[in-house]
A and B are shown apart, each in its own frame.
Chain A
């Protein structure tokens, strides 16, 4: 029988990013509507630093994923569900790369360079351009809303596997749940 569990680094990266992305998402929504204040400037900077961290993590994760196949989906799963699962997982990777990238580009276009933790300046890949900055802000937001929708589907599917199908799909990604077989 093939192993039903993900590798340790895959599990750690998965949950680290889950927490980080939810924090980034909530912070993004919250800070956007604040009136301008020193706190708002701080939150923007923290959002950007955490976002760049997420970008680094997803690159690590992709590198790990290339070298380590995830456990196979349960044989009992219908073909369309397997296809949907693979599709959603690929979209996740796409969004996890595209969201921080658009955040970085948006900041450059708006004329606010990203300086990681106030120390490491990231190059501005775009020159200052107000319209482009606003466009990228919208793209960043729409990608984030897509990510949120995917998370709902992803969590729903994981819970269905665990509670209704009673298979190993969720426990394969959990560091603590006892294996059923």
Chain B
């Protein structure tokens, strides 16, 4: 018994020395998902309050890394009480019919240094599109920090249809910025 445990520990240590740590424990309280929309040419900040991420990321082995996001669209802060009431409605997110948005990664590619590119399938309002986002990974203390951004075309997902599809008032391009903190599995024991 003792021997097995020793062997396991040795194996773990060995694997740790070969690979960097795997980050797979999402720290919700410190992570954020923000967006910037443009209304009449003016940038307006927004964010989502509730989302969860499942991930397994070892910077030394991005090829086997995985990430998955579940986003509660009703938790949106679109910049003003007026807008919050509006964007959960049918022309926008239609949260009654589609409460969740999801993202499932397909590949994480190293871009050199601490830069990577995440690509995968994003589903909002029942529509799925391929998206990809460059991100920077860095380690702070025990935690891994992922900072990335990409531009989403809202009309690809039917976000803001009908009268709102006029992109001269609300631009089609919405910038999404994510700041995800994950702890290594070992730290969470």
Q: Name A's B-contacting residues (CB within 8 A).
A: 36-38, 41-42, 44-45, 110-115, 118-119, 130
Contacts and interface: CB of A to CB of B under 8 A. Distances in A.
B79 interface: yes
A172 to B, nearest CB: 41
A134 B80 CA distance: 11
Contacts of A118: 40-42
Closest 7 CB pairs of A and B: A118-B41, A38-B169, A45-B40, A41-B169, A36-B86, A115-B42, A38-B166
15 contacts: A36-B82, A36-B85, A38-B163, A41-B39, A41-B169, A45-B42, A110-B80, A111-B44, A111-B45, A112-B42, A112-B79, A112-B80, A113-B42, A115-B40, A118-B40
B164 to A, nearest CB: 6
Contacts, number: 41
A41 B170 contact: yes
A145 to B, nearest CB: 23
Contacts of A38: 163-164, 166, 169-170
B45 to A, nearest CB: 7
B83 interface: yes
A112 B86 CA distance: 17
Nearest to A110: B80
Contacts of A42: 40, 169
Interface string B3-42: 0000000000000000000000000000000000001111
Max chain B C-beta neighbours (<10 A), residue from A37, A41, A115:
A41
Given A41-B170, A112-B39, 10 more contacts: A36-B83, A38-B164, A38-B169, A41-B39, A110-B80, A111-B44, A111-B80, A114-B42, A115-B41, A119-B41
A130 B41 CA distance: 22
Contacts of B79: 111-112
Contacts of B83: 36
A112 B45 CA distance: 9
A132 to B, nearest CB: 14
Max chain A C-beta neighbours (<10 A), residue from B39, B40, B85:
B40
B43 interface: yes
B43 A113 contact: yes
Contacts of A45: 40-42
Contacts of A44: 40
B160 to A, nearest CB: 9
Interface in B134-189: 163-164, 166, 169-170
Nearest to B46: A111
A113 B44 CA distance: 8
A37 B44 contact: no
B136 to A, nearest CB: 27
Contacts of A112: 39, 42, 44, 79-80
